[in-house]
Amino acid sequence: MEFAEFAGSVVLFLLMLLVGLELSPADFRRVLQSPRAIVGGTLAQWILLPLMTWLVVDAVGVNPVFGAGAILVAVAPGAGISNIFTAVARANTALSVTLTATASVFAVVTLPMFSSLAVRFFLDESLTVEIPVGLLVGQLALTLLLPITFGMLVRIRFPAEARRLAPHLQRFTALLIAIVVAVLIAVTPEEQTHFGGSGRALIAATIWTVSAMAIGWGTARALRLPSEDRFAFLIEFSARNVAVAVIVGISGLGRVDLSFFAGVYMLVGYPLAAAAVLWRRWRLGSHP
């Protein structure tokens, strides 16, 4: 676990550095000139994602532990990987970064409220939720703000060097990811790769991810945002911060089983988001 945490942090830092190399202050100025995207996108995540989650877990009939865990995933802020997916898809990366940062800041308030309601509704328990503020602040600073800012500064000060550096950094990061995945597969005990009674949860996670994509796209369309913003919403709504959901379940609520749905979601949520990115890249290539 220590290796996974360290290696994952290094990979995420490098990936977000690559995102920063593609951004400029002008990108964020354009986002701030249209605040309805930030306000509308943030409110829709707070209201529509928990409501959709309740409908999905009720319709599929997952057990209450998975249902409560699904709410934790839904109310967690967007993951840093959403910014990476958005950048690879050539959508509005500055909007994605801004939405992630906004949701992470407000999660200090929204996470305890929705988490306690989920536990009370699904498990009929009343628990005091301890939110990992330090984790949220640390993730926001070390895996989002710092590498993106550094990448932007390199692009501004040394544009030619930044263009030459990006392909080499991409190849190195891809190699590092392959090594990390191979090591984790080799050292993970077989019994830890299976979750009891996760069949329905896997179906629920698949439906949840597709529904979150549809809500993100539909929200952006209702706000009359352009295509690159709509795709940023699609990814931001569906790629949630699993680390926060797991920490809230284990440390904040004292229930290890509340992290199980997050594990199941990772099996389908991120791959489906990656598939959406590939589809957009194909569409952009087919219709230049």
Confidence band of 91 (pLDDT split at 50, 70, 90):
very high
Please tell me the predicted confidence (pLDDT) of residue 191. 46
Confidence band of 283 (pLDDT split at 50, 70, 90):
confident
- The torsion angle over the Cα atoms of residues 223, 227, 233 and 236, rounded to 10 degrees, is -170
**Nearest-CA neighbor of 87 among 283, 288, 215, 277?**
277
Averaged pLDDT of the chain: 79
Provide mean pLDDT across the span 229-253.
83
Provide mean pLDDT across the span 203-231.
96
Provide mean pLDDT across the span 6-18.
70
Please tell me the predicted confidence (pLDDT) of residue 3. 58
Contacts of 7 (CB under 8 A, 6+ apart): 176, 180, 183
Residue pLDDT, tens place only, 124-139: 655 555 555 565 566 6
Provide mean pLDDT across the span 218-237.
96
Residue pLDDT, tens place only, 184-215: 556 555 544 444 556 888 999 999 999 999 99
Residue located via tokens 């949840």: 208
Residue pLDDT, tens place only, 248-259: 776 656 667 777
Per the model's pLDDT, the better-predicted residue between 187 and 18 turns out to be 18
The total number of structural domains that make up the chain? 1
Confidence band of 225 (pLDDT split at 50, 70, 90):
very high
Confidence band of 163 (pLDDT split at 50, 70, 90):
confident
Provide mean pLDDT across the span 152-164.
85
Please tell me the predicted confidence (pLDDT) of residue 276. 95
Domain that holds residue 111: 2-286
CATH classification at residue 155: 1.20.1530.20
Please tell me the predicted confidence (pLDDT) of residue 103. 84
Provide mean pLDDT across the span 25-31.
79
Confidence band of 26 (pLDDT split at 50, 70, 90):
confident
Please tell me the predicted confidence (pLDDT) of residue 2. 58
Please tell me the predicted confidence (pLDDT) of residue 187. 59
Per the model's pLDDT, the better-predicted residue between 108 and 221 turns out to be 221
Could you give the maximum distance between any two Cα atoms of the chain, in Å? 59
